[in-house]
Structure 1
Amino acid sequence: MTDNHNQSLGDVHSSVNTENKTGWRKIMAFLGPAYLVSVGYMDPGNWATDIAGGSAFGYKLIWVLFASNLIALLLQSLSARLGIVRGLDLAQASKNAYPRFVNFWLYILAQIAIIACDLAEIIGMAIGLKLLFNLPLIWGVSLTITDTILMLYLMNKGMRKLEGFIISMIFIVGLSFLIEMFIVNPSVVEIAKGFAPGNLSGESLYIAIGIIGATVMPHNLYLHSSLVQTRQITRTDAGIKSAIKFNLFDTVIALNLAFLVNAAILILAATAFYKNGYFKVAEIQDAYKLLEHIFGRVAPVLFAIALIASGQSSTITGTLAGQIIMEGHINLRIEPWLRRLLTRVLAIVPAVFTIIYFGENGLGSLIILSQVVLSLQLGFAVIPLIHFTSDKKRMGKFAITFKVKVLAWICAVLIVALNAKLVYEQLFDWIKEYPSSAIWIYVLVFPIVLAVAVLLIYVFFRPMLYKHKDQPVYAPHGIASAITELDAITYKHIAITIDFSKNDNDCLRHAIMQGGKKATYTLIHVVETAGARYYGKQVMDSETQSDADNLDKYVTTLQNLGYKAQAQIGYGNPASAIAKIVNEENVDFIVMGSHGHKALKDLIFGTTVNSVRHMVNVPVLVVKPSR
């Protein structure tokens, strides 16, 4: 039996069966990962660039969207190939290829990018809530913290349920824009002309750079390389080849759907605004107002619903990517709800700060800033990905061909160059706009940009100049050591946690099986009343007295049966109280009953068993309640 906690997204690793299926059933088993990835290509950050491009230049930039989609298809297919062939996500592969110090900074940059991406989703969702329910933006931003609970619930239900939710959100977005296409009635002939490449200069070049920069997002590459590992495959050449093929189908279908949504937003802006003389619509709020002014109430309502669905789905996939980069780059694993809450809070703080000090109109500029931050990190995902998938030593016959490698490097150079240009222009725009702060931009911002550039150059040359040794694939818990002799262990002092439920009998039976009549048994019960938390042993309320009497009955029963038993009452936090008694009494084995909570109840009531395990240095036997 494998330890899934050592895998990328261990809770859902290899959780979807693809074996013994043929035809459409086989295809359907593989469909899913790319849909979770595709939501990042139609998030509120993309909406801003699509609306700006459509309102300023009509249908002329559709070809830029199409070219961006082709680049995304190539890079996402490479990401899926890495996960399938090597069983590694991009962060884990980077950990093996680069020194620990570099991995730390790669993690920091990736985490900043995810927070920046999450920031755009938060703002977009808050704007959607305001447009639909007239909810103040600061309340909308604050409400997005509830995504943490939703994410925890969906992950607990399994990968298929999570994918189903995301696909339903995509369906809502797609359906909303499909209906809006019928409302605005665009010109099919002019749309077709928009696919023909044209010259880009001045503002059109700037918006085109923004479209490309907002389309290919770094966290999607981390995410895809991990999500493909949720499928069980046969680890043979034929099995791997089949998995690559079916995941390519998944990627092509999902990203083309994302392209259609982005194209629909641009076409909507071109038809509704450009054709009516509104050439400078860059704010989502402005787009909503103009839609209502031109087409009535239905179109803007659909627009707001799509915006909420887009923000909701994108934030969920962003937090998944956060888990992948944290565990992959720096071997840090914390509780999922805590990690997601931390990411969300770090994204909410700048949004709330902007609303308080710059007003609601400042959120549009904050979205642009988030896209600039994403641009800085993109090269750190794309360059290692190409290195890893073209490595014939580790990828074997599944390494990418020379033609694909050349095409991938061309895309990488194009993306890095265009995003560098975007960052460069944005910095000097800030200097022109805020001349009094120019000195601080030169002193603080430019050195950071230079350091990031140096790190990017290092990331590019390191795999070519230094051939690293392969490390164990799954490092968080180390590797297996040699097993020699397995002698029986005799436990002399066993602790049993008691909660006066039907679990107690099972716990006592399992404890006696371990120690027999030679061991000493300490029965532990923790009083959790408010008085117990504040006053500890000094509390003498009725519940404490009743619990002490009941515990003594258990002890007397065991003693009458010929076992050495004693009672210990703990007070306050259960985990801390149990650990304290275990350490003070020199217990060498613990038997605990699992409470059987799931998802939301774990969040509310806590997970005592897991907490105790990390507070003591003795074995813990967890007894599941009998049905």
Structure 2
Amino acid sequence: MVTNELTTPTATPLQVARARGRVRGRLILLGPAFVAAVAYVDPGNFATNSAAGARYGYLLVWVVVVANLMAMLVQTLTAKLGLATGRSLPELCRERLPRPVNRMMWVQAELVAMATDLAEVIGGAVALYLLFGIPLLPGGLIIGGAAFVVLALRSRGFRAFEIAIAVLLGVIVLAFAANLLAAGSDPGSAMAGLVPRLQGTDSVLLAAGILGATVMPHVIYVHSALTRDRIPATDDAERRTLFRGQRTDVLLALTAAGAVNLAMLLIAAASFRGGGPVGADSLEGVHAGLGQSIGTAAAFGFAVALLVSGLASTSVGTYAGEVIMQGFLRRRVPLLLRRLVTLVPALVVLAIGLDPTRALVLSQVILSFGIPFALIPVVAFTRRRDLMGNLVNHPLTTAAAALVAVLVVALNAFLLWQVVAG
């Protein structure tokens, strides 16, 4: 007997996702940028933005806004790179760059990872001290270990990890929204702060710190891996659909992160500028000052947001370290060993008693020096049609991204000259 079998084409992963319904089909495209966005509101941002508001009032509002717009552009390009090539940025660097250059890129990326962990662990440790009186060194150990709990969600699939990180980001947004409403602000002065200007070398240092805390090198690496690993595209039409989803993802996530960063500065400016308590440009001083000027609830909300930020961002940072090692060297290191290597500098800072806020601000300056090493390859790769196909950059997009890279390099060169000149 001869039978004719009708075969039904197998649905693609994107078709399966969209078959879940109009709303769920769109929501499934969101998530990677929210993981990246947590790094944009890590404890380093608390330190730099609060210090900027406490010292200079609304002067550096424009830096926060410009840095966030730059971050949107950078993360869009990074997400597109992973989607179009099926490779993370470190993998492309290993495949496309000379071996000595690739090794140099890996070394600086590891230093960036250490500076990132420094900010996240110290910030979380300070939060535990403010909330429960736990000494800084044990607090740092607790934060470092707690990251494994969040990272364990990755074993249940990418959605569980993304949702957990998005929820933690939501807690931070709500805490600062409530504190901003309670603190109030001067709309006229805030609008005047949109006019670009600086006041002396210290304001330049803080501006570089804000930039380093907002445009984060390690999530430039990790975002490409997040989009690479998510929903594979089978043709150009699906790539365009996925990229539209990623643009929406970046817009929503980075708008939320930018609002938090701006709220940090506005709260400090409204509460402390020209009359705040002594030490209001430190995390402990901000916590105490909020309690005095707004109320105990505001101080509690600040500390909770700082704790959540440290926990979420150190989890993302550990994942980024894994992407960096695997991509640049094609090596896998046990997660525990990887965690210990990046954790040590933070624990040393806590053990020897260095000022936590000063260490946080300086860590963000280190991060700003790492931005060009991640950003320039992104710009170079995303302008190549042989790599990107129909998702290749428009010439205006490449020009804008190149301008961002030039500005970052120029700012870092100025800072280096200031240090050398004393």
Q: TM-score, normalised by structure 1?
A: 0.62
CA offsets, 1:530-560, max 9 Å, x none? xxxxxxxxxxxxxxxxxxxxxxxxxxxxxxx
Alignment correspondent of 1:62 = 61
Supply the distance in 1 between the matched residues of 2:345 and 2:106 (Cα, whole angstroms): 20
Unaligned runs of 5+ in 2: 1-12
Q: How many residues align?
A: 409
Which SS does the other structure have where 1:356 is aligned? helix
Contact 1:15/1:231, CA 8 A, preserved across alignment:
no
Counterpart CA distance in 1 for 2:347 and 2:406 is 36
Q: Structure 1 or 2: larger helix share?
A: 2
- Tell me, yes or no, if structure 1 residue 350 matches structure 2 residue 345: yes
In the alignment, is the contact (CA less than 8 A) between 2:82 and 2:224 conserved in 1? yes
Cα distance in 2 for residues equivalent to 1:279 and 1:235: 59
Checking the alignment, whether the CA contact within 8 Å between 2:88 and 2:224 is kept in structure 1 is yes
Aligned position for 2:409: 416
For 2:198, which of 197, 200, 208 is the aligned residue? 200
Distance (Å, rounded) in 1 between the aligned partners of 2:155 and 2:14: 12
Q: Which of the residues 360, 367, 371 maps onto 1:374? A: 367
**Contact in 1 for aligned 2:148/2:315 (Cα 8 Å):** no
User: Are the aligned partners of 1:55 and 1:281 in contact in 2 as well (CA < 8 Å)?
Assistant: yes
Residues 16 and 231, structure 1, Cα contact 8 Å, conserved in 2: no
Q: Greater strand share, 1 or 2?
A: 1
User: What is the aligned partner in structure 2 of residue 259 from structure 1?
Assistant: 258
| 1:41-95 deviations in Å (ceiling 9; x for gaps) | 1111111110111112222322211111111111111101111111111011111
For the residue of structure 2 that corresponds to 1:30, the secondary structure is: coil
Q: Show the counterpart of 2:378.
A: 385
User: Are the aligned partners of 1:49 and 1:211 in contact in 2 as well (CA < 8 Å)?
Assistant: yes
Matched, 1:399 2:383: no
The answer to whether the 8 Å contact 2:279/2:285 transfers is no
Q: Distance in 1 between matches of 2:276 and 2:18?
A: 56
Question: Residue type matched to 1:351 in 2?
Answer: A
Instruction: Evaluate the alpha carbon distance shift between residue 355 and residue 234 of structure 1 in structure 2; reply closer, same or farther with a 3 A threshold.
Output: closer
Please tell me whether residue 81 in structure 1 is matched to residue 74 in structure 2: no
Q: Distance in 2 between matches of 1:356 and 1:424?
A: 31
Aligned ranges 1:420-431 → 2 under 5 Å: 420-426=413-419
Structure-2 residue corresponding to 1:139: 138
Write the letter of the residue equivalent to 1:413.
Answer: V
CA spacing shift, 1:280–1:153, aligned 2, 3 Å = closer
Q: Secondary structure at the match of 1:72?
A: helix
Cα drift, residue 350 of structure 1: 2.6
Q: Is the 8 A contact 1:51 1:269 kept in 2?
A: yes
Deviations 1:460-514 (A, max 9, x none): xxxxxxxxxxxxxxxxxxxxxxxxxxxxxxxxxxxxxxxxxxxxxxxxxxxxxxx
| Counterpart position of 1:92 | 91
Distance 1:208 1:149 in 2: 33
Give the direction of change, closer, same or farther, for the CA distance of 1:148–1:63 in structure 2 (3 Å limit).
closer
Structure 1 residue 19: Cα displacement: 4.0
CA shift, 1:278, in A, is 5.3
- What is the alpha-carbon distance in structure 1 between the residues aligned to residue 14 and residue 141 of structure 2? 34
Distance 2:343 2:82 in 1: 32
Distance 1:72 1:46 in 2: 14
What does the per-residue CA deviation read over 1:230-270, in whole Å, with 9 as the maximum and x for residues that have no partner?
Answer: 33243211101111111000001100100000011001101
Contact preservation (8 Å) 1:45, 1:371: yes
Please tell me the residue identity of whatever aligns with 1:169.
L
Q: Distance in 1 between matches of 2:231 and 2:97?
A: 29
- TM-score, normalised with respect to structure 2: 0.91
| Change in CA separation of 1:305 and 1:175 when aligned onto 2, cut-off 3 Å | same
Output the CA distance in 2 between the equivalents of 1:354 and 1:168. Answer: 30
CA displacement at 1:427 relative to structure 2: 5.7
Deviation at 1:16, TM superposition (A): 11
In structure 2, what residue type is equivalent to 1:219? H
Contact 2:114 2:343 survives alignment (8 Å): no
Matched with 1:120 is: 119
Could you say which residue in structure 2 is the equivalent of 1:175? 174
Aligned CA distance change for structure 1 residues 346 and 16 (closer, same or farther; 3 Å): farther
* CA pair 289-148 structure 1, distance change in 2 beyond 3 A: closer
Corresponding residue number in structure 2 for 1:228: 227
Runs of 5+ unmatched residues, structure 1:
1-13, 430-627
Cross-structure match for 1:309: 308
Q: Alignment partner of 2:355: what SS?
A: helix
Q: Give the % identical residues.
A: 35
Deviations 1:202-242 (A, max 9, x none): 13333222211221111111111111123324321110111
**Structure 1 residues 319 and 311: CA distance shift in structure 2, 3 A:** same
- Is the Cα contact below 8 Å between 1:89 and 1:328 reproduced in 2? yes
What is the aligned partner in structure 1 of residue 19 from structure 2?
20
Q: CA deviation at 1:353?
A: 2.6
Q: Is the 8 Å Cα contact of residues 273 and 279 (structure 1) preserved in structure 2?
A: no
Root mean square deviation, CA, Å: 2.1
User: SS in structure 1 opposite 2:185?
Assistant: coil
For the 8 Å contact 1:107–1:329, the answer to whether it is kept is yes
Structure 1 residue 21: Cα displacement? 5.1
Structure with max Cα Rg: 1
Letter in 1 for 2:265: L
CA contact (8 A) 2:121 2:144 kept: no
AA at the equivalent of 2:153: L
Equivalent pair of 1:18/1:233 in contact (CA under 8 Å): no
- 1:400 alignment partner, SS class: coil
Kindly indicate whether structure 1 or structure 2 has the higher relative contact order, using CA contacts under 8 Å at least 6 residues apart.
2
Partner of 1:102: 101
CA distance in 2, matches of 1:396, 1:428: 47
1:288 corresponds to = 287
Alignment of 1:503-522 (within 5 A): none
Q: What secondary structure is seen at the aligned counterpart in 2 of 1:300?
A: helix
Higher mean alpha-carbon deviation, 361-370 vs 222-231, is at 361-370
Secondary structure, counterpart of 1:231 in structure 2? coil
Equivalent residue, structure 1, for 2:5: none
